[in-house]
Structure 1
């Protein structure tokens, strides 16, 4: 249970002393701009407003005066907004480069989940209200009316199949359900959402009056459908195939870094043209042995050199353990890069890197790649024991070469509270310990990577220490 900086022990969580700073090295301009987020958010809300405006322009407000017509009208609005959000959900996870760079996969996944559940709830409301409205008009039992709608109306059988698929995807996206599935299995099931979206289209075109009653509505909906389909085909299918073929990645070596920790180095063609940065991750498919179709999200554990890429993975007993058996020369398919944990989001000269366990892998690459002068960068690396520290020698060599401050925080975590601290520091609060390690952290960009609970604790401590939310960049090892 120790904490060290370079080779010297530190007294009770005292921060290491910064070396003197030489002439500042110019920083590269940020690859993402804050206004990108505003524009994307504005376009999202604008699409919903357009749908509501089309509903109003179709005279639906007047329909609210009667019971049956009013229920039908609100049901139509719920269906329209649901369809709009469904397509926005597809665009959020279509791997659009600008969206990826702006939000990062962690935040995109959370927004995707929120939009998806909202869309599904509105779809259920749409089905219930339309059924009740038509049943009231026709004087039928609602269950009989629902059966007639599904069987007799064009495209409704396909819409019913789409609903079943989307419900299945939603159920397997609930946190409790996800815990029972491997990532690879969940990812394959999640792809059925695209089939569900496609099966919903005939119903919207054949029986959805609101889609075709006005030329602007027709243009709007067709444009949104075409944009979603094109984004999927280009960025989720075409671009990964192109990059896989062009760069021809092959396994060069497989090295065991420590107990249960495996590094895989790959070489290929024209890797200097692959737009990947230190700290990012890709979806990897190792095209040998069983499971070759499964994608695995692994971060780079070293800055890309233009001739090689390296990942480092902890054996968690699933497909990650099979990496040790991959033969050199095996071909590798890639999708990406993804993630916002890269030098391009940096906005300040001073940077603190906060790593826990195998979460050090992307931050080790950032330690190498960030433009810096002595004292600009601090790495705080949390591990349970000395044996659990990965890349210690590499980190010490990088620290010596760059003047970065490195602090190893070792020891079992405090058991009776949600915290990032080891047991011996139980007398300190999370924020007190962090400020002792990095006194001026409020003036830093902060990169955080680790398991979800640890990231939550560290992020809360950084916010309490005065770091603005926009200067905290995170990656969680969860899905």
Structure 2
């Protein structure tokens, strides 16, 4: 192998009991979330067939799809509410992935719902689809529904991967804020149009309870908790330290930060008040384990906000939402740990190294040694903890044999007992995918694999 390696030797991990898979926080949260979804699917379908008259099969299909669209909207609200219990167990990246697929499902549901309704009316009244569309658009509640459909279609369009790559995070986020307007319009439309919403007292209580739960979850998770925490924390910039030409660390001080419950590996969504516009907020991981009155983030200049951090004045007030993410030690199942970092993904890995105990091996992938930011800190921590740090540099595929640092055989060479350890992976998507593929080939148990991808639902 031609990749350069730097190592600080330490002890070898020993196997520890991993307990029941059902007790794993991720398994518990997934069971709770999907159990709730399945239960509500059953309820709305029972209500539909019991109380929702339809003119014909096409009309019935449209109304059936509309009710499922309403449930998808409610699920979206819960997924983006950033509820601490779900977030700490499932992680923002997993919730964001579900949010994305639920969003595309919602798009097709709200598109097909009016289509089938209008086809049903056309069949019932022996008219054309376009005639029924013209008649329905002229009705207030229906027009409200069509506006909601248009907003959802725009949001779905900018979420397609090709469009997403061309948009800044800030613009993408601003477009998605319009979805809150669409959801309010959809609720008004449902109140006037969906017979299962008002057919019986029980159905009305059921639907209002769902909307109240989802709405309160969003308000509490996105407004009340952040406002209360920031009123107590009073975060300010204490120092700005360049780590490389395009990487900077921002040190923050505040009050009672230990009461946040933040853990190494998590991230916050940061706003620098008075320095950037309020809508310019970015997620950055903690690059050091949180302290009683201090936090640190480290960011690479990849956008306007992150590039401008180098010039943030000391004393700037900071508004932070979080902590978020399940990339923490609460998910550990074994005594030993492997930490794998690539690029700026080193920031949560470095904070985890500071917090973790037991046998630890760190694999740090960089193009060249000059790119290895925070390496000196990790080597110092490794000496204190008796851990191992391997810096893996060089272009992938170059050399004879080719440099493939995360091939299964190379992972086993670097960490012979990798099957007996938890593995935390954070880095660019291609690197993360390569590592996960090798871990699957090595048959590392899924509950021992923890991957953090930089993704965020609006």
Identify the residue that residue 468 of structure 1 maps to in structure 2: 445
Task: For residue 426 of structure 1, report the CA deviation from its aligned partner.
Answer: 3.9
Distance of aligned partners of 1:21 and 1:234 in 2 relative to their CA distance in 1, 3 Å threshold = closer
Could you tell me whether the CA contact under 8 Å between 1:412 and 1:423 is conserved in 2?
no
Identify the residue that residue 238 of structure 2 maps to in structure 1: 252
Distance in 2, matches of 1:389 and 1:349, equals 27
Task: For residue 425 of structure 1, report the CA deviation from its aligned partner.
Answer: 3.9
The question of 1:19 aligning with 2:5 is answered no
Could you tell me whether the CA contact under 8 Å between 1:92 and 1:108 is conserved in 2?
yes
The question of 1:41 aligning with 2:41 is answered no
Q: 1:172 aligns with which of 136, 158, 166?
A: 158
Identify the residue that residue 140 of structure 1 maps to in structure 2: 127
Distance in 2, matches of 1:440 and 1:117, equals 41
Q: Which portions of structure 1, spanning 4 or more consecutive aligned residues, are displaced by more than 6 angstroms?
A: none
- Other structure's SS at 1:398 match: helix
CA RMSD of aligned residues (A): 2.1
Distance in 1, matches of 2:202 and 2:215, equals 20
- Other structure's SS at 1:355 match: strand
Q: 1:120 aligns with which of 94, 107, 110?
A: 107
Distance in 2, matches of 1:428 and 1:328, equals 40
Distance of aligned partners of 1:228 and 1:317 in 2 relative to their CA distance in 1, 3 Å threshold = closer
Identify the residue that residue 343 of structure 1 maps to in structure 2: 329
Could you tell me whether the CA contact under 8 Å between 2:275 and 2:316 is conserved in 1?
no
Higher relative contact order, structure no. (Cα contacts within 8 Å, ≥ 6 residues apart): 2
- Other structure's SS at 2:307 match: helix
Distance in 2, matches of 1:423 and 1:274, equals 50
Distance of aligned partners of 1:332 and 1:44 in 2 relative to their CA distance in 1, 3 Å threshold = same
Distance in 2, matches of 1:159 and 1:117, equals 18
The question of 1:3 aligning with 2:37 is answered no
Distance in 2, matches of 1:170 and 1:427, equals 37
Identify the residue that residue 47 of structure 2 maps to in structure 1: 54
Distance of aligned partners of 1:278 and 1:351 in 2 relative to their CA distance in 1, 3 Å threshold = same
Task: For residue 59 of structure 1, report the CA deviation from its aligned partner.
Answer: 6.2
Matches within 5 A, 1:175-190: 175-190=161-176
Task: For residue 315 of structure 1, report the CA deviation from its aligned partner.
Answer: 1.1
Could you tell me whether the CA contact under 8 Å between 1:451 and 1:478 is conserved in 2?
no
Distance in 2, matches of 1:245 and 1:182, equals 30
The question of 1:384 aligning with 2:361 is answered no
Distance in 2, matches of 1:35 and 1:113, equals 22
Could you tell me whether the CA contact under 8 Å between 2:7 and 2:390 is conserved in 1?
yes
- Other structure's SS at 1:362 match: helix
The question of 1:231 aligning with 2:217 is answered yes
Gaps of 5+ in 2: none
Identify the residue that residue 318 of structure 2 maps to in structure 1: 332
Identify the residue that residue 84 of structure 1 maps to in structure 2: 71
Task: For residue 478 of structure 1, report the CA deviation from its aligned partner.
Answer: 5.0
Could you tell me whether the CA contact under 8 Å between 2:342 and 2:364 is conserved in 1?
yes
Identify the residue that residue 395 of structure 1 maps to in structure 2: 378
Distance in 1, matches of 2:12 and 2:368, equals 31
Q: 1:437 aligns with which of 414, 418, 422?
A: 414
Task: For residue 167 of structure 1, report the CA deviation from its aligned partner.
Answer: 0.9
Task: For residue 115 of structure 1, report the CA deviation from its aligned partner.
Answer: 1.2
Distance in 1, matches of 2:39 and 2:47, equals 12
Distance in 2, matches of 1:34 and 1:161, equals 39
The question of 1:410 aligning with 2:393 is answered yes
Could you tell me whether the CA contact under 8 Å between 1:247 and 1:270 is conserved in 2?
yes
Q: 1:287 aligns with which of 251, 256, 273?
A: 273
Task: For residue 413 of structure 1, report the CA deviation from its aligned partner.
Answer: 2.0
- Other structure's SS at 2:341 match: strand
Identify the residue that residue 351 of structure 2 maps to in structure 1: 365
Distance in 1, matches of 2:279 and 2:113, equals 37
Identify the residue that residue 12 of structure 1 maps to in structure 2: none
Distance in 2, matches of 1:130 and 1:317, equals 45
Task: For residue 3 of structure 1, report the CA deviation from its aligned partner.
Answer: 2.7
Distance of aligned partners of 1:246 and 1:470 in 2 relative to their CA distance in 1, 3 Å threshold = same
Could you tell me whether the CA contact under 8 Å between 1:288 and 1:326 is conserved in 2?
no
Q: 2:430 aligns with which of 453, 456, 463?
A: 453
Task: For residue 291 of structure 1, report the CA deviation from its aligned partner.
Answer: 2.8
Q: What per-residue deviation string (whole Å, max 9, x for no partner) do you get for residues 13-40 of structure 1?
A: xxxx643679x9xx9xx99363232122
Identify the residue that residue 338 of structure 2 maps to in structure 1: 352
Could you tell me whether the CA contact under 8 Å between 2:51 and 2:195 is conserved in 1?
no
Distance in 1, matches of 2:295 and 2:445, equals 33
Distance of aligned partners of 1:205 and 1:59 in 2 relative to their CA distance in 1, 3 Å threshold = closer
Could you tell me whether the CA contact under 8 Å between 1:303 and 1:366 is conserved in 2?
yes
State the TM-score, normalizing by the size of structure 1: 0.89
Could you tell me whether the CA contact under 8 Å between 2:288 and 2:297 is conserved in 1?
yes
Distance in 1, matches of 2:299 and 2:63, equals 49
Distance in 2, matches of 1:321 and 1:423, equals 38
